[in-house]
Structure 1
Amino acid sequence: MRLSRAFLPTLKEIPAEAAIASHKLMLRAGMIRQTSAGIYAWLPLGLRVLKKVEQIVREEQDAAGAQEILMPTIQSADLWRQSGRYDDYGKEMLRIRDRHDREMLFGPTNEEMVTDIFKGYAKSYRDLPRNLYHIQWKFRDEVRPRFGVMRGREFLMKDAYSFDMDVEGATRSYRAMMLAYMRTFQRMGLRAVPMRADTGPIGGNLSHEFIILAPTGESTVFYDAAFEELKLSHADYSYEKPEDLENFFSQVTGLYAATDEMHDEAAWTQVSADRQREGKGIEVGHIFFFGTKYSEKMGLTVAGPDGQPVVPQMGSYGIGVSRLLGAIIEASHDEAGIIWPDAVAPFRCAILNLKPGDLATDALSEKLYAALGGDAVYDDRPDRAGVKFNDADLAGYPWQAIIGPRGAANEKIELKRRATGERAEVSLEEALHRIMAG
């Protein structure tokens, strides 16, 4: 992308309505624009990051055996009446009547719809287990939407739903999703800690929320330092081996981790002092086993091996895809702007041409731009160097390739790593190697 032709409406002033770093920086960098309270348009730069986050989520769901579908945003009120939630959900639900006076709603979640869809297919125990997911826009009419994409009314969410014959199978599905979640956040350069959450009237211990550690987080969290050393490669744990999933789950849940609401001081004292960590965190995902709560109410049964009807056990698994962008920025920024992890950056490199019109500078800039293909943004604007440096820092591209007349005359590029500020003068070939290697 050439900045001279880009739609990138950056702001110099911090908007008055922005209270946290991610909201300020996303508006200033031209990633989003508010269209009404809690609702945002995603502009080209922000949309690129959103798509990269979405793709990582998709790839890890696929690897765990979940299958992608796409359910409508508009749902029938009759489905929600069947589950008993239509009248109970409250004013967060946006209720609609169509031209035939049928009651509809803008879906805040999809348990009813996915159960109804699966009911039309599943007839036998041979049709289980299954895990279906989609990545879709949701709407919840928050009373006080705030913090930009962190607490908006319209948001992009990945929600998955598992169907199993028994609790043992549902537990395996739950463990597989926990592993997929931790791998997802690991790929994004984030440290995420699964913390046991309240299971409500269902009981049990299969409910975890995933907290991204960030200094500006909403929740106080307590966790074992061993979480900082976890590496969850596909070579370590296989989704196909129940014993691998059990070992993984035992390892992770055997470590202490809790938000202030669930903090147990007695259990905390059992963690050695040198491993105790306390900080702030932001919830970006939640996984939950709810048994037959929806399958029973929605009339979902399958024939078991003996021909008798069985009500499948279900779980749900959510990730706030659009919320993740705000969380990543809260966890990774400085006074100058965003510091994107390589995997989700809108572009890997910003090429800063310090003197457009100079033959050598233009030639070297164009050569690097062509070599990087679609993974570079080229600042070919006739602006001062300071403006280009500030904008590149604000947008948070992992690398900056600074090209001026002196260096270009010797085919040299000054390469800056955004995260560390480290600079080095290198050849074109070395610059390409470093940028693509990350």
Structure 2
Amino acid sequence: MRSSRYFLPTLKETPADAQIASHRLMLRAGMIRQGAAGIYSWLPMGLKVLRKIEQIVREEQDAAGAQEVLMPTIQAADLWVESGRYDDYGDEMLRIEDRHGRKMLYGPTNEEMITDIFRKEIKSYRDLPKNLYHIQWKFRDERRPRFGVMRGREFLMKDAYSFDLTAEDGQKSYNAMFVAYLRTFARLGLKAIPMRADTGPIGGDLSHEFIVLAETGESEVFFDKAFDGLDPMVEAAAGADLQPIVDEWTSHYAATDEIHDADNCPVDAGNLITGRGIEVGHIFFFGEKYSKPMNATVQGPDGDTVPVQMGSYGVGVSRLVGAIIEACHDENGIVWPEAVAPFKVGLMNLRAKDEECTAACDKLYQQLTAAGIEVLYDDTDTGAGAKFANMDLIGLPYQLAVGPRGLKNGVVEVKDRKSGEKLELTPEEAIAKLTA
């Protein structure tokens, strides 16, 4: 994509209302624009990142045996009345009426709707287990929406729901999602630590939240340094017993500041790591909380009708964009992990009016594109300093700079955005490095 044609409205100055790094950088890098408090439009570069994160989340859900559906954003209030949550959920729920006076709501989550779908279609234990998920926009009317996409009112979320015959089977579904989450966050270039959590309005008595470490995180976290030796890219063969993996990850101490007790911490000071973290995922097993009041039952092997055992599993897809930036930035801008970067290479023509520079850049652009590399080609007639600053701001993994001085010596400059390492290479060597 040529910059001269791309819609990328970057900002030199930081908007006054942007309080944290991800909000500042997403606005400055032209990724989002605010439409109303806590509600954002996603511009081309922001949307590219959002879709890449969404796809990694989807791939790991599919690999874990979950099946994708798509439920609407607007739900009938009757289902929530039936489950007992319509009045209990609180002011975060946006309650509305249609033209016929029917009570509706903009879904903050989907336990009721998926339970209704399940109970109408599944009647026998022979059809279990099932795990259904979707990736859909949600709305929660935050009292104080702030921090950009980190605490907005409208957000994109992956929510999955498992249905099992027994609590033991339900634990297996929970474990499968636990491992899928470890893999998902690792693929996104993040270090995520599972921590036992309060179930809140979702309900149940088993829950873990996944916390990504970031210096600007919203919560202070405490955890055993033994986590450093654990590999999140766990190979989980179909049908394998995942309990030992879950046990390994949950046997080490990890707590947010809300529940950490310094006087009774089981980890000695030499092995306790303190940092800050951002919640990016939350999983729950709540048994019969929804299936019982909503009569989601199946006929068991002995002929008796029993409520199914349920769990739910959420990942904040749009929130992850902000979380990745919070964990991956420096004083000059974003530093994207390659897996989610909007483009892999930022190609800069440092002298757009120079015919030799333009010809060399055009050739490099064609070669990289033909090799399947996503390139943002800055072909604009602006100063070299502004081009370098802009590329640092948007944070693509590699920068490829072509200028008349280098071309006279037969070289171009390749910069690794994360390490800052710069190499002078021939154009052929640069292509080989960037396509390796």
Q: TM-score, normalised by structure 1?
A: 0.95
Deviation at 1:262, TM superposition (A): 1.9
Question: CA 1:123/1:108 → structure 2, altered by over 3 Å: closer, same or farther?
Answer: same
Aligned amino acid, residue 189 of structure 1: G
Q: Is 1:256 paired with 2:245?
A: no
Matches within 5 A, 1:240-389: 240-242=239-241, 245-265=242-262, 268=265, 270-373=266-369, 375-389=374-388
Alpha-carbon displacement from aligned partner over 1:105-126 (angstroms, at most 9, x marks no partner): 1101000000001111111001
Deviation at 1:5, TM superposition (A): 1.1
Alpha-carbon displacement from aligned partner over 1:266-320 (angstroms, at most 9, x marks no partner): 663x435443200100111100111100011111110111111021100000011
Aligned amino acid, residue 248 of structure 1: I
Aligned amino acid, residue 263 of structure 1: H
Please say if residues 348 and 387 of structure 2, whose CA atoms lie closer than 8 Å, have aligned partners that are also in contact. Answer: yes
- Counterparts of 1:251 and 1:238, CA distance in 2: 17
- Counterparts of 1:200 and 1:344, CA distance in 2: 31
Aligned amino acid, residue 384 of structure 2: A
Deviation at 1:233, TM superposition (A): 3.3
- Counterparts of 1:70 and 1:380, CA distance in 2: 41
Q: What is the DSSP-based 3-state SS (H/G/I as helix, E as strand, rest coil) of the residue aligned with 2:121?
A: coil
Structure 2 counterpart of 1:403:
402
- Counterparts of 1:328 and 1:433, CA distance in 2: 28
Structure 1 counterpart of 2:189:
189
Structure 1 counterpart of 2:393:
394
- Counterparts of 2:251 and 2:106, CA distance in 1: 40
Deviation at 1:225, TM superposition (A): 1.6
Deviation at 1:363, TM superposition (A): 2.0
Matches within 5 A, 1:181-260: 181-199=181-199, 204=205, 206-235=206-235, 237-242=236-241, 245-260=242-257
Q: What is the DSSP-based 3-state SS (H/G/I as helix, E as strand, rest coil) of the residue aligned with 1:317?
A: strand
Structure 2 counterpart of 1:29:
29
- Counterparts of 1:49 and 1:199, CA distance in 2: 30
Q: Which runs of 4+ in 1 moved over 4 A?
A: 200-204
- Counterparts of 2:407 and 2:341, CA distance in 1: 27
Q: What is the DSSP-based 3-state SS (H/G/I as helix, E as strand, rest coil) of the residue aligned with 1:22?
A: helix
Please say if residues 349 and 397 of structure 1, whose CA atoms lie closer than 8 Å, have aligned partners that are also in contact. Answer: yes
Q: What is the DSSP-based 3-state SS (H/G/I as helix, E as strand, rest coil) of the residue aligned with 1:294?
A: coil
- Counterparts of 2:318 and 2:360, CA distance in 1: 37
Aligned amino acid, residue 324 of structure 2: I
Please say if residues 360 and 409 of structure 1, whose CA atoms lie closer than 8 Å, have aligned partners that are also in contact. Answer: no
- Counterparts of 1:221 and 1:154, CA distance in 2: 27
- Counterparts of 1:430 and 1:61, CA distance in 2: 38
Question: CA 1:342/1:432 → structure 2, altered by over 3 Å: closer, same or farther?
Answer: same
Mean CA deviation greater in 108-117 or 194-203: 194-203
Please say if residues 343 and 374 of structure 2, whose CA atoms lie closer than 8 Å, have aligned partners that are also in contact. Answer: yes
Alpha-carbon displacement from aligned partner over 1:47-90 (angstroms, at most 9, x marks no partner): 00000010110011111111000000010011111111112222
- Counterparts of 1:259 and 1:239, CA distance in 2: 33
Q: What is the DSSP-based 3-state SS (H/G/I as helix, E as strand, rest coil) of the residue aligned with 2:292?
A: helix
Structure 2 counterpart of 1:75:
75
Deviation at 1:411, TM superposition (A): 4.2
Deviation at 1:239, TM superposition (A): 4.2
- Counterparts of 1:319 and 1:135, CA distance in 2: 9
Please say if residues 415 and 425 of structure 1, whose CA atoms lie closer than 8 Å, have aligned partners that are also in contact. Answer: yes
Q: TM-score, normalised by structure 2?
A: 0.96
Structure 2 counterpart of 1:170:
170
Deviation at 1:435, TM superposition (A): 2.5
Question: CA 1:294/1:177 → structure 2, altered by over 3 Å: closer, same or farther?
Answer: same
Please say if residues 77 and 86 of structure 2, whose CA atoms lie closer than 8 Å, have aligned partners that are also in contact. Answer: yes
Q: What is the DSSP-based 3-state SS (H/G/I as helix, E as strand, rest coil) of the residue aligned with 1:293?
A: coil
Structure 2 counterpart of 1:111:
111
Deviation at 1:436, TM superposition (A): 3.6
Kindly report the root-mean-square deviation, in angstroms, between the aligned alpha carbons of the 2 structures.
1.5
Question: CA 1:67/1:203 → structure 2, altered by over 3 Å: closer, same or farther?
Answer: closer
- Counterparts of 2:19 and 2:250, CA distance in 1: 35
Question: CA 1:65/1:429 → structure 2, altered by over 3 Å: closer, same or farther?
Answer: farther
Structure 2 counterpart of 1:415:
414
Q: Report % sequence identity.
A: 64
- Counterparts of 1:68 and 1:187, CA distance in 2: 20
Structure 2 counterpart of 1:97:
97
Please say if residues 191 and 228 of structure 1, whose CA atoms lie closer than 8 Å, have aligned partners that are also in contact. Answer: no
Please say if residues 347 and 376 of structure 2, whose CA atoms lie closer than 8 Å, have aligned partners that are also in contact. Answer: yes
Q: Which runs of 5+ in 1 are unaligned?
A: none
Q: Which runs of 5+ in 2 are unaligned?
A: none
Question: CA 1:411/1:114 → structure 2, altered by over 3 Å: closer, same or farther?
Answer: farther
* Count of matched residue pairs: 432
Please say if residues 32 and 43 of structure 2, whose CA atoms lie closer than 8 Å, have aligned partners that are also in contact. Answer: yes
Q: What is the DSSP-based 3-state SS (H/G/I as helix, E as strand, rest coil) of the residue aligned with 2:360?
A: helix
Deviation at 1:429, TM superposition (A): 3.4
Aligned amino acid, residue 394 of structure 1: L
Please say if residues 9 and 29 of structure 1, whose CA atoms lie closer than 8 Å, have aligned partners that are also in contact. Answer: yes
Q: What is the DSSP-based 3-state SS (H/G/I as helix, E as strand, rest coil) of the residue aligned with 2:291?
A: helix
